[in-house]
Amino acid sequence: MCAIFGLVTAAGDAEELLARMGQAMQHRGPDGEGEYHHGAVHLGFRRLAILDRQHGDQPMFSPDGRVRVVCNGEIYNHRELREELELLGCVFHTSCDCEVLPQAWQVWGEGMLDRLNGMFALVVDDADRDCLFIARDRCGQKPLYYSEQDGMFRFASEIRGLIASGVKGEPHPGVLEDYLRLRYVPEPLTFFKDVFTLPAGHCMRVLSDGSVSGLRRWWSVPGPERFDGTPEQAVDLLDQVTRRAVERTLLSDEPVAAYLSAGVDSSLLASYIKELGGDVRTVSIGFGAASDESDDAEAFAGFLGFSHERVLCSAGDLVELPRVVRQMERPVGDALVLAFDRLASHTASMGCKVAIGGEGADELFAGYSFHSTMLAADRLGGLGRQTAAGVLAYAPSWVLNRLARFPADIGSEGRQKVVRYLRGFDALTVEQKGVNLRSLFESDELSDLLLAERADTGAVRRQVGECDLLDDHLRYQFSDWLQDWAIIRQEKNSMAHSLEYRMPFLDHELIELAFSLPNDWKLHGRQDKWIWRQLAARKLPELVSRRQKQPFYFPLETYASSELFRGFVDDCLSEQAVKQRGYFSWGAVQGLKQSADAGGFLPLKKIMSLVILELWHREFVD
C-alpha cells in the first residue's frame, strides 16, 4: 500500500514537480520513498510497509533493468505467481508482493492482469515499448487519477498530488446534477474539470508525447451464465471461495483490525477470521441513535473471543467536517464520511496498519432496501403499482416505514417520492428504476434548484440491459456506486491515517460465483441475501444470521439542533454564500432550509449534501 505518482514530460522541472507530488501524499506512505527518471518518464513512490518491511521500496525492476513498475495495493496471490514464474526460470530476492510484477509483465504482458488477485493501481514502464502501461484492479479498490494538461501527462493516487504538480483545480460544472442526484460524481469524471479517474477494471497506454492511447476495459462483471447445482451445493462453494478470500486478506506483517457491526456481513467476516486463526482486534462504531448496533457488535466480538474497541460518534465530530471533505478530495454528499474517518483514526491509533471490512456483499447478493423495493414494484405489475401508489399517497408515513427498511422516519417527502416512483415506473429505464429510488434530488427539484441549464454528462450509462432487472441493476452498481460511493469513503479516510483497508468480499472469484447464482436465491420472497444468509447460518448464531440489515447511517436528525450543525448551515448556505457560488436559486435553498428545520430524513440529507459541496469549493477552488 502506498502512493504512486508520475509524469510524462520533457519539461526541465520534472524532478521538482515529482518531489512536490510525493510530499503532498506523504500520509499514504510514511515508511519509504523512491523515484525513477529516464527520458520523458518520471515515476515516484511513497510506501506504507505491510509485507517485507525491509525490501519493498519501489519502483520494482526486472533483473535486466528493462521493466520498471510502481504499484499501489496488494497482490494477494503473489506467492502462487512467484512459484509459477520460478518454474519458468525467474529469480526473486524478496518476499514483497510487488516484486513479481516486472517479471510477470515480461512473461505474460498485458495478460498478467488476468492472473492477479488483489487490489491495485499499477504503472509499467517497459524499455522495449515506447509507452507507459497503466491499469486498475477489477473493482477499483485502489484509485488512480490522471490529467493531460499543458502538454504533460500526470498520474497520482490522489488528486492533491496532481494539484501539487500544477494541475489547475477548476470545477467541472457539468457534473453538478450527477452530484446532487447521486451524492457523488461517477467515474471517469471527478468534480475537477481536468482530472479524471481511470475506471475500475480498465487499462490504458500513455505515449512518449504524453497522450493517452488504447483506453480499454480489461475485466467486466460476469455475464448471465447460471450455476446449475442445488442451493446446498452453492453454499458449499460459497464457503470455499469466501474462506479463501478472507485468508488472502489476512496476509500481513503488521497488526490487523476488523470492522464489526452486528450485521450479517461483518459478523460472517469475523467468524471466518476466527476460523482461520487470524490475530485481529475488532472495532465498531456507534451513534447513540436507534440504528446503533455497537452493543450487539461488542457482544459478538466477545462471543468470538476477540479484543474489541468501540468508537462513539457525536455532534462534536461535525467540527472535523472541513478536514474530512479535504481528505475525500471528491465531494461525497453524506455526513457518514465523518464516521469512516473516526473509525480509521481510532484503528490507526490502536497501532494497526491494516483494517478489513465487509463491503461488497450487499452489492453481490442484493442487500439494500432499494433492491427489494425495486423488485417488488416490478412484480406488482402496472395495475398493482397504480393501486399501491393511490393507497400510499394518503397513508401515514409509518405505513411505508413498516413495509421497507429506512434508517429513519422517511416522512411525507419520502412517501411522496415512492408514490411518484410507482406511478412513473413503466417509463423508467433499467438504470433509472434503481437509481431513482436512491437518488437524493429528483428532476423537478433540480429544475427549481439549479440556475444554469441542466447538463447530462452521460457518465453513468454502462453495463445494463443484458439480463433481467435485478441482474442489470447489480451489474450497474459495479460500474459506479461501488467505486464512487462505497469504496471511496473507506479508501480515502483510511489512507489519510496511513491505514490499509481490505475488502475480501470483493475477491473476483466470489464476484464471479455470486453473479452466476439465480436471482431468487438472492431476493427470496421478502428475505434479502437469502443464499448468503444460508452460508451465515452455518457459521453464526441464528440471532445473528437472521438479523435484518440495519442501514449504516449518520443520524443527522439527532444532531440537527446542535450549534455546530446550525453553524455550518448558516455559514455555507447563507444568502451571500449561495449567490456568490452561483449554482443555486436562493429561493430554492431557502425552501430546503425550511424543510430541514422542520426535521425529516430526506431534507436533512439534502442540506448536508449542499454544505459538503460548499466546503469542497472552499477547500479546493477558492
131 classed as catalytic: no
Q: What are the backbone angles phi and psi of residue 488, rounded to the nearest 5°? A: -60, -35
Q: Dig out the grid coordinates for 93 from the structure.
A: 530476492
Interatomic CA distance for residues 146 and 144, integer angstroms? 7
477 Cβ contact partners less than 8 Å away, ≥ 6 residues apart: 363, 434
Interatomic CA distance for residues 268 and 72, integer angstroms? 28
Q: What are the backbone angles phi and psi of residue 253, rounded to the nearest 5°? A: -95, 5
CB burial string 191-219: b at 16+ within 10 A, e below: bbbbbbbbbbbbbbbbbeebebeeeeeeb
Question: Measuring CA to CA, which residue among 372, 441, 366 is closest to residue 406?
Answer: 372
Q: What residue type is assigned to position 344 of the chain?
A: A
The DSSP annotation for 191-226 comes to: SBTT-EEPPTTEEEEEETTS-EEEEEES-----S--
CB 407 within 8 A of CB 147: no
Instruction: Please identify which of the residues 2, 96, 313, 352 carries the catalytic annotation.
Output: 2
Q: How far is CA 231 from CA 228, 443, 468, 520, in A?
A: 10, 42, 20, 11
> CA 498 from chain center: how many Å?
17
Asked if residue 97 belongs to a known ligand binding site, the reply is yes
Q: Which residue has the cell 474462506?
A: 243
Interatomic CA distance for residues 18 and 43, integer angstroms? 8
Pairing of strands 308-312, 280-286: parallel
Interatomic CA distance for residues 91 and 313, integer angstroms? 50
Asked if residue 285 belongs to a known ligand binding site, the reply is yes
CB 34 within 8 A of CB 60: no
**Which strand (E) or helix (H) includes residue 595?**
helix 586-597
Q: Which burial class, exposed, middle or buried, applies to 354 when counting CB atoms under 10 A from its CB (0-12, 13-18, 19+)?
A: buried
Q: How far is CA 388 from CA 32, 380, 393, 528, in A?
A: 61, 9, 8, 22
What three-state secondary structure class fits 36?
Answer: strand
CB 613 within 8 A of CB 179: yes
* Residue 596 neighbours by CB distance under 10 Å: 23
CB 575 within 8 A of CB 385: no
| Stated length of the chain | 622
User: Per 3-state DSSP, what percentage of the chain is helix, strand, and coil (rounded to 5)?
Assistant: 50, 15, 35
CB 585 within 8 A of CB 449: yes
Question: Measuring CA to CA, which residue among 367, 337, 171, 191 is closest to residue 264?
Answer: 367
Q: How far is CA 79 from CA 76, 98, 117, 150, 234, in A?
A: 8, 10, 11, 42, 28
285 Cβ contact partners less than 8 Å away, ≥ 6 residues apart: 294, 310, 311, 312, 313, 339, 342, 343
Q: Dig out the grid coordinates for 517 from the structure.
A: 447464482
- Give the residue numbers of the binding site for L-glutamine: 97
- Give the residue numbers of the binding site for ATP: 285
- Give the residue numbers of the binding site: 97, 285
Catalytic positions, please? 2
